[in-house]
A and B are shown apart, each in its own frame.
Chain A
């Protein structure tokens, strides 16, 4: 049994295909979705998204956003979605460092929230990349 998984970021449509199952990092913890899941809406937490298609499991790192589950379709709206190969570890580490430096300065609440979100995203990418390397 399959349903449509659609992942979009402001830059492009990352993924749009039939999958058998998907595990989403929701704000309240990981969330497994299979065919026939009840309609659901929740926020995303930066982390790993796993979907299985044709018996194979693929993993993406996604950022903040929202997910909508309807009958027959899962729409994931996020500001970041990359595969392991696309993560440039050095660049991510640099981004992390910049964000941490920025946090040290005085800022408004909104700015702090933005920087913290970017730190979470960077960390999610790094954890994933490192885990992947240990497995190999």
Chain B
């Protein structure tokens, strides 16, 4: 059995840890609220934008805009959005595992966030660029990443651009996801199931309607090139920005939950240690009393 001093020391260190994790939990909780608001409020815009472009792509010739081009090749550029700091549960690990599983030798990576950079460098992956993003993410920062990705795509160096990020589902659940950004594909952001079903229904109704009139092409005002020139890059910028915000919301939620369970665990541990400490203390007192009474008995 350990002695009282050892246990006292441990109680002290555990309660210090609990204090720190508790403070981190509070900080994460306050950031979480804001980040979640950002992420959820940007979703309708991102979704409508995405559906507009998917529609556009289906109804125009591929040559209408270089960013809409489908290529045969298989070289992929993956933008990996991770956190800068740790202590957020399995968030980064889960995402990086998914990235690692889906990538092959030809895949190149761009990282956003320190954790992703460190991990991919350790795995000796083909890391071509690294971006830093402040918290909360800023649109200008997303633009830089988007510009880099678009340039690489347009130069023909890569045939596909994907983004790996963590979808924010709820405070308790975040889901690693890889979505294709270029060429344009429909992207599923973490929407609640109810509206998803409703939307799917409305889409099928619309599809019926378009079948009736026949697949006629869009009218572009003033002309396809100038409209697509402004819409497509804006789309890429905004989707990347939205994904960064989703990742931020996931990060703070995950950290809040991780820190909460750490605080709870530390408090449980303190309780156990205190119990043991008191037991030892009582045993010591009993032994001492026993000593005194035996000594008295012996003197009588």
| A binding-site residues for B, Cβ under 8 Å | 6, 8-13, 26-28, 31, 38-43, 66, 68, 70-73, 75, 77
Contact = CB atoms under 8 A, between A and B. Distances in A.
Nearest to A72: B209
Given A12-B41, A41-B227, A77-B52, A27 B221 contact: yes
Interface string B201-226: 00000100110010011111110001
A40 B219 contact: yes
Nearest to B49: A77
Nearest to B218: A39
B280 interface: no
Contact of A39 (B49, B59, B234): B59
Given A9-B45, A28-B222, A39-B216, A68 B206 contact: no
Given A27-B221, A41-B218, A43-B227, A71 B52 contact: no
Interface in B56-82: 56, 59
B244 to A, nearest CB: 13
B200 to A, nearest CB: 15
B195 to A, nearest CB: 11
Contact of B227 (A31, A66, A77): A66
Contact of B45 (A8, A31, A39, A41): A8
Contacts of A8: 44-45, 48
Given A27-B222, A77-B49, A71 B227 contact: no
B52 A10 contact: no
Contacts of A41: 52, 56, 218-221, 227, 231
B220 A6 contact: no
A8 B51 CA distance: 13
A77 B48 contact: yes
Interface of B: 41-42, 44-45, 48-49, 51-52, 55-56, 59, 206, 209-210, 213, 216-222, 226-227, 230-231, 234, 238
A28 B48 CA distance: 23
Contacts of B52: 41, 66, 68, 75, 77
Contacts of B206: 70-73
A41 to B, nearest CB: 5
Given A43-B230, A71-B210, A71-B213, A38 B221 contact: no
Nearest to A28: B221
Given A12-B41, A75-B48, A77-B52, 14 more contacts: A8-B44, A11-B41, A11-B42, A27-B222, A38-B216, A40-B221, A41-B219, A43-B226, A43-B227, A43-B231, A66-B52, A68-B55, A71-B210, A73-B206
Nearest to A4: B202
Contacts of B234: 66
Chain A to chain B: the 5 pairs with minimum beta-carbon distance, closest first: A42-B221, A13-B44, A40-B219, A68-B52, A8-B45
Contact of A10 (B216, B222, B238): B238
A103 to B, nearest CB: 19
Contacts of A75: 48, 51-52
A28 B231 CA distance: 16
Given A66-B227, A68-B56, A77-B49, A12 B44 contact: yes
26 contacts: A10-B42, A10-B45, A11-B42, A13-B45, A26-B221, A27-B221, A28-B221, A28-B222, A38-B216, A38-B219, A40-B218, A41-B218, A42-B227, A43-B230, A66-B230, A66-B231, A66-B234, A68-B55, A70-B55, A70-B210, A71-B206, A72-B206, A75-B51, A75-B52, A77-B48, A77-B52
